[in-house]
């Protein structure tokens, strides 16, 4: 933890703490991935099961630590230790890599996903929405908008998502539709996930379309 604070001070809010050295974490994804990398640099194996940090030096046992509170505050010391499992409970067989639509980057699987305070790709998502509407106007009813918004109706959702993926690829991204959200990345460090389809059949754009970031990238 101390090493990560020195390496990535930008992911901590040093003005808020719950005790000595227990600061607010502003990027839980980078926090867990950073801790695992630092443990592995010490010759240990690290993992994350979606709730607790996992650590082992052999397959005979692993320790579980709860190192982040529900308020996104670091948790240190004996209070972070939860249990020991024998034999070690990780790694479990990884799922197959999802399709990457010809992306030149190798496949990637996420360790953790959460909502970041600042998304990085939102402007290009909105730019892609404008491009798709301009290039394929027949797939939209611009006279039918969701009340209180400028979100116009989509006629063919599958066609819409296919065009959005292609638009993001044309902007230099890797992109795919995972069945619910548009996923984009420029490296395997992380991916961002956007819900650009409102349930009533309209596009969704603006701040509410961003959902989460996954570390490493989720495809």
- Residue 95: its pLDDT value, please? 80
- Residue 94: its pLDDT value, please? 78
- Residue 147: its pLDDT value, please? 93
Q: Which residues make Cβ contacts (< 8 Å) with residue 57, sequence separation at least 6?
A: 43, 44, 45
Tens-level pLDDT at each residue, the chain (219 residues): 999 999 999 999 999 999 999 999 999 999 999 999 999 999 999 999 999 999 999 999 999 999 999 999 999 999 999 999 999 999 888 788 888 888 999 999 999 999 998 899 999 999 999 999 999 999 999 999 999 999 999 999 999 999 999 999 999 999 999 999 999 999 999 999 999 999 889 999 998 999 999 999 999
- Residue 177: its pLDDT value, please? 96
CB atoms within 10 A of CB 15: 7
Note whether 182 and 161 are within 8 A (CB).
yes
The neighbouring-strand residues paired with 23 are 17
Note whether 24 and 73 are within 8 A (CB).
yes
Alpha carbons 190 and 186: distance in angstroms, whole number: 8
């Amino acid at each position: 933890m101390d090493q990560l604070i020195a390496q990535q001070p930008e992911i901590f809010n040093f003005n808020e703490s719950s005790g000595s050295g227990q600061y607010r974490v502003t990027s839980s994804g980078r926090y867990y991935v950073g801790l695992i990398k630092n443990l592995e640099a010490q010759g240990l194996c690290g993992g994350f099961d979606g709730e607790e940090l996992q650590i082992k030096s052999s397959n005979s046992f692993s320790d579980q630590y709860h190192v982040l509170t529900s308020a996104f505050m670091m948790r240190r010391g004996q209070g972070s230790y939860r249990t020991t499992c024998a034999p070690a409970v990780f790694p479990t067989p990884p799922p197959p890599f999802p399709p990457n639509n010809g992306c030149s980057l190798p496949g990637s699987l996420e360790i953790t996903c959460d909502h970041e305070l600042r998304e990085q790709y939102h402007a290009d998502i909105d730019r892609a929405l404008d491009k798709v509407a301009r290039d394929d106007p027949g797939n939209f009813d611009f006279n039918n908008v969701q009340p209180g918004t400028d979100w116009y109706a989509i006629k063919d959702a599958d066609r819409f998502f296919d065009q959005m993926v292609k638009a993001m690829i044309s902007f230099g991204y890797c992109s795919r539709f995972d069945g619910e959200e548009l996923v984009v990345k420029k490296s395997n460090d992380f991916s961002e996930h956007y819900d650009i389809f409102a349930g009533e059949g309209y596009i969704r754009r603006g701040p509410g379309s961003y959902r989460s970031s996954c570390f490493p990238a989720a495809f």
